[in-house]
Amino acid sequence: MTDLSGRVAIVTGGGKSLGRAYALGLAERGAAVVVNNRRHQGESDEQTSAAQVVASIRARGGRAIANYDEVEQAQAGENMVQAALTAFGRLDIVVANAAVPQAAAFHKTSAEDFRTIFDVGFYGTLHLLQAAWPILRENGYGRIVTTTSSAGRFGNHGLTAYGAAKGAIESLTRSLAAEGAARGIKANAISPYALSQMTSAYLSGEIAERFSPEQVVPMVLWLASEDCTANGEVIIAGGGHFRRGFPVETQSADGVGRNMAAVFDEIRDKAGVAYSSSNAAFDGLLKDMHLDAASARKKPN
């Protein structure tokens, strides 16, 4: 059982589906939670999904407050961080979950459609992390869980904007992991397969039951905990099963003076090598070229 007693978390998109399950799980393990979900037109505070999740947490003896900021607004991240500090005096965990779906081919997706999806999915994540980052660095501790998707790694028909936004989040997460390691901050991404508002049209019956949001929660709780040893990882989660996702490059082929079609055929047939960082990938290329990685790097003046 992951113990999060005394920790304070922010969960965006925390009013429904996966976000709701994360917020409830964090609170059950002892964390105080800022539950963010936008207010829809005509809703009173009590009617909002965020307030309903807060009520559920408090009914179980937990601590939580609701936040109604729209994550795409530039000030939203600062507002959420300030809400956590005002209500609970600290911030330890950020779970960036908010996103909007897309289901339209590229030729039917306008630049404005791209902006909308990026504003919520990518910039909604960015605004929050930029606001939280100085606090986590100063504290010398933090846990960040972003939300990516297989569409961000593999691409998919009808998901050009959504996939691009998720791919950007994945790269942002790995870069933050590299920058935050020395400050006690671990940043990882969860890539969930679960029944949600986005997937309800595609999952039904026994499959929908097996892929409940609650099946993803244990990994998110571990990634949010002090016990977490992962950093810069993408964890795919669904139906109670988990796997790692990571960049893979093949060994290189010497292409000097060769036909590029033949070079491609050669690298297409080579085995993939998993690299933990861009530096490791470059070192792998140097190795293929029989060059020494240490001598290739410029020495500081």
For 1-29, what is the mean pLDDT? 96
Residue 9 β-bridge partners: 33, 93
- pLDDT of the residue at 66: 98
Q: Which two tokens stand for residue 35?
A: 């539950």
Sorting pLDDT into bands at 50, 70 and 90, what band is 156? confident
For 76-86, what is the mean pLDDT? 98
Residue 273 β-bridge partners: 249
For 120-138, what is the mean pLDDT? 97
Q: Indicate if the pLDDT at residue 95 is higher than 80.
A: yes
Sorting pLDDT into bands at 50, 70 and 90, what band is 39? confident
Which are the contacts of 187, defined by CB distance < 8 A and separation ≥ 6?
Answer: 144, 146, 173, 174, 176, 177, 180, 231, 232
Mean pLDDT highest for which of 75-79, 158-162, 240-244, 250-254?
75-79
The alpha carbons of the chain give a radius of gyration, in whole angstroms, of 21
User: How confident is the model over 201-224, as pLDDT tens digits?
Assistant: 555 566 766 788 999 999 999 999
Does this model's pTM top 0.75? My answer is yes
Q: Indicate if the pLDDT at residue 182 is higher than 60.
A: yes
- pLDDT of the residue at 194: 82
Q: Indicate if the pLDDT at residue 200 is higher than 60.
A: no
How many other C-beta atoms can be found within 10 angstroms of the C-beta atom of residue 289? 10
Say which DSSP state 16 is in. Answer: S
Q: Which residues are the active-site residues?
A: 162
For the domain bounded by 8-245, which CATH number is listed?
3.40.50.720
Instruction: Give the β-pairing of 8-11 and 272-274.
Output: unpaired
- pLDDT of the residue at 152: 84
User: How confident is the model over 262-297, as pLDDT tens digits?
Assistant: 999 999 999 888 887 788 888 888 888 888 877 666
The full set of domain ranges for the chain reads 8-245, 249-296
- pLDDT of the residue at 292: 81
User: How confident is the model over 100-127, as pLDDT tens digits?
Assistant: 887 799 999 999 999 999 999 999 999 9
Nearest Cα to 132, choosing from 166, 176, 192, 99?
Answer: 176
- pLDDT of the residue at 196: 63
- pLDDT of the residue at 75: 97
Sorting pLDDT into bands at 50, 70 and 90, what band is 195? low
